[in-house]
Amino acid sequence: MKYRTAVTYMEIGCFVVCLLGWALVCSTLPTEYWNISTLDQGVLTTANFFSNLWKDCVSDSTGVSDCKEFPSLLALELNIHMCRALVIMAIILSFFGAVLSLVGMKCTKIGGSDVANARVTFAAGINYMVAGFCAMIAYSWYGNKIRKEFVNPNFKAAKFELGAALFVGWGGSSLLIIGGFILSFFAKKEGLRCRSTLQPEPTPCTPARTRRTTIISLAFKEASEGRKTRATMTPSRAPTDTYV
C-alpha cells in the first residue's frame, strides 16, 4: 500500500512539472523578446530592436513600439521555419501527453487494469520527453545563430543578444524532459511489476519419454497379471496312461 501511494504521488508531481514546462513553452510563442538589440544615438535617444518568430519590433526611449510582421513566408530563413515547426510540435505533443497522463494515472481511476494504466502513463512520459527535446532543439538552434552572428567580426549588420523568451523556453523544455523521463521510468517499472504478479505459476509437466515408459510398464504388468490369472484358473488334469 505504501508503494502504491508513493507511485501515485510521484505521478502527480511529474504531471505538475510537465504542465508547468508546457505552459512555459507555450508562453514563448507570443513573446516578442527572442532577440534584442539596443542602439544608442544620444543621451535621450535610444532605440531597441527585438523580434520573435513572427515579427520584428522597434521601440524608442519614450516607450512607443511599432511591430511589423514578416512580409513573406517563403523569404524567411530556414532557422525560422524549423523553430516554428519544432515549438508547435512540442506544444501538440505536450497536449497529448497531458491527456494520456490523466487517463493513465492511478489517482484518476479512468483507465482499466494496472498494466494498461502503466502503458498509457509510459506513453505520456515519452510524449513529454519528445516534446521537451523538440523545444530544446528549437531554442538552442535560434540562440546558436544569435551567438555566431554576435562573435563574428565580419558580420556588419546589427548584432542581437539572447532574449528572455529563450531562457524561459530552455527552462520549460528542461522541465518537460525531466518530468517525462521520471514518469516513463516509473511507469515502465510499475508495468513490469504488475505483469510479474499476474503471471501464473508454471505447472510441472511430465516429459514425453517418461509418460511413454510408464504406459509400457503398466501394459506389461497387466499382461503378466493376466497370464497368471489364466494359469491359476486352468484345472489340473490327471495322467491318462497309468501302469499297473
SS3 track for 18-72: HHHHHHHHHHHCCCCCCEEEEEECCCCCEEEEEECCCEEEEECCCCCEEEEECCC
pLDDT category at 77 given cuts 50, 70, 90 is confident
pTM for the full model?
0.72
pLDDT category at 217 given cuts 50, 70, 90 is low
Q: Mean pLDDT lowest for which of 28-32, 137-141, 151-155?
A: 151-155
pLDDT of residue 233: 52
CATH of 2-32+76-197, one of 1.20.140.150, 2.40.50.100, 1.10.3470.10, 1.10.10.10: 1.20.140.150
Identify whether the C-beta of residue 49 lies closer than 8 Å to the C-beta of residue 57: yes
Q: What integer is the mean pLDDT of 171-179?
A: 94
Domain segments of the chain as ranges: 2-32+76-197
Residue bearing the bigger pLDDT, 30 or 191 = 30
**What's the CA dihedral at 161, 50, 88, 123 to 10 degrees?**
40
Q: What integer is the mean pLDDT of 199-225?
A: 51
Average pLDDT score, the chain: 78
pLDDT category at 242 given cuts 50, 70, 90 is very low
Residue bearing the bigger pLDDT, 161 or 1 = 161
**Residues sharing a CB contact under 8 Å with residue 166, sequence separation 6 or more, in sequence order:** 28, 34, 139, 142, 143
**Whether the predicted pLDDT of 1 surpasses 80:** no
Residue bearing the bigger pLDDT, 1 or 78 = 78
Identify whether the C-beta of residue 32 lies closer than 8 Å to the C-beta of residue 112: no
**Whether the predicted pLDDT of 211 surpasses 50:** no
HSE toward the beta carbon, residue 179, CA cutoff 13 A: 27
